[in-house]
C-alpha cells in the first residue's frame, strides 16, 4: 500500500530549519513505499488542497512543514492500522529547542468548535478516493471544519494511540498570527456554514 506525504510549504520564520527537520524524519522511516508531495500555492488551505490533489498514494498523510514524524515507525504504524476513511494519531509538541512536551492522544468528541480533541491536520491521514479538500475561506479553524466533513463522509476516525507526530509550536503558528477579529470572523463563518448545511 503506497502512502503520499502531502507537505504544503510557505514562507514563515525558520522555514528552512523546519523543512529540513521534516525531511530528515521522513528519510529515517522504516516504511519506504511513500512519495513526498511538496506544494507552495496560496494560503494554507489552498496550498494543502494543491498537495492533496497531486497525491498518488492510497493513503494521504498530511504534514505541515513545521511538524515532523516522531519515530522511525511512524508511517508504518499508520499503514498497518489504516482502515479506510480517516485516521488520527497522537502527537507531542516541540517549541524549537528539541524538548518534547504536552503528549496528546486523539479522541473523538463530535468535533466541537470550542475543543479540538483530534489535533493538528498533521496527525491525520485520509483515504485517497475522491479525497475531501479544505475550505479555502479558512485559516484558523480549518482543521475543525475539515474534521466535521470527514465525519459526515466516513464516520468516526480510527484513533491510533501512538505518539506519532511532533507538532512545532511557536510564534509562527496561525493562532499567534491572526487577530482576535479574524478569529471571531472564522468562528462565525464556521457556525453559519454548518448550521445551514442540508
pLDDT above 70 for 176: no
Q: Are residues 111 and 182 in contact, defined by beta-carbon separation less than 8 angstroms?
A: no
* Structure confidence at residue 18 as a pLDDT band (50, 70, 90): very high
Q: Are residues 129 and 141 in contact, defined by beta-carbon separation less than 8 angstroms?
A: no
Could you read off the pLDDT of 30-64 as tens digits, one per residue? 999 999 999 999 999 999 999 999 999 999 999 99
The C-alpha cell that represents 37 in the structure block: 508531495
pLDDT above 70 for 168: yes
pTM value is 0.91
Which pLDDT score is estimated for 170?
Answer: 65
> How many Å apart are CA 138 and CA 160, to the nearest integer?
27
* Structure confidence at residue 197 as a pLDDT band (50, 70, 90): low
* Structure confidence at residue 179 as a pLDDT band (50, 70, 90): low
* Structure confidence at residue 187 as a pLDDT band (50, 70, 90): low
The C-alpha cell that represents 20 in the structure block: 529540513
* Structure confidence at residue 114 as a pLDDT band (50, 70, 90): low
Which pLDDT score is estimated for 198?
Answer: 47
Mean pLDDT of 143-157: 93
CB count within 10 Å of CB 171 equals 11
- Compute the C-alpha angle 74/160/55, nearest 5°: 55
Mean pLDDT of 98-122: 85
3-state secondary structure the chain: CCEEEEEECCCCCCHHHHHHHHHHHHHCCCCCCEEEEEECCCCHHHHHHHHHHHCCCCEEEECCCCCEECCCCHHHHHHHHCCCCEEEEEEEEECCCCCEEEEECCCCCCCECCECCCCCHHHEEEECCCCCCCCCCCCCCHHHHHHHHHHHHHCCCEEEEEEEEEEECCCCCHHHHCCHHHHHHHHHHHHHHHHCCC
Amino acid at each position: 500500500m503506497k502512502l503520499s506525504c502531502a507537505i504544503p510549504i510557505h514562507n514563515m520564520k525558520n522555514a528552512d530549519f523546519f523543512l529540513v527537520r521534516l525531511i530528515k524524519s521522513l528519510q529515517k522511516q522504516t516504511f519506504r513505499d511513500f512519495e513526498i508531495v511538496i506544494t507552495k500555492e496560496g494560503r494554507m488551505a489552498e496550498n494543502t488542497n494543491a498537495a492533496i490533489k497531486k497525491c498518488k498514494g492510497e493513503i494521504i498523510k498530511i504534514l505541515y512543514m513545521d511538524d515532523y514524524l516522531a519515530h522511525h515507525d511512524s508511517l508504518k504504524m499508520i499503514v498497518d492500522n489504516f482502515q479506510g476513511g480517516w485516521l488520527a494519531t497522537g502527537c507531542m509538541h516541540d517549541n524549537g529547542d528539541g524538548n518534547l512536551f504536552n503528549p496528546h492522544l486523539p479522541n473523538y468528541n463530535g468535533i466541537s468548535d470550542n475543543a479540538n480533541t483530534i489535533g493538528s491536520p498533521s496527525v491525520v491521514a485520509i483515504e485517497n478516493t475522491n479525497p475531501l479538500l479544505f475550505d479555502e475561506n479558512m485559516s484558523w479553524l480549518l482543521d475543525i471544519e475539515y474534521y466535521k466533513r470527514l465525519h459526515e463522509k466516513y464516520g468516526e476516525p480510527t484513533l491510533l494511540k501512538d505518539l506519532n507526530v511532533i507538532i512545532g509550536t511557536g510564534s509562527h503558528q496561525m493562532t499567534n498570527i491572526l487577530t482576535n477579529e479574524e478569529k471571531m470572523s472564522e468562528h462565525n463563518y464556521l457556525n453559519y456554514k454548518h448550521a445551514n448545511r442540508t
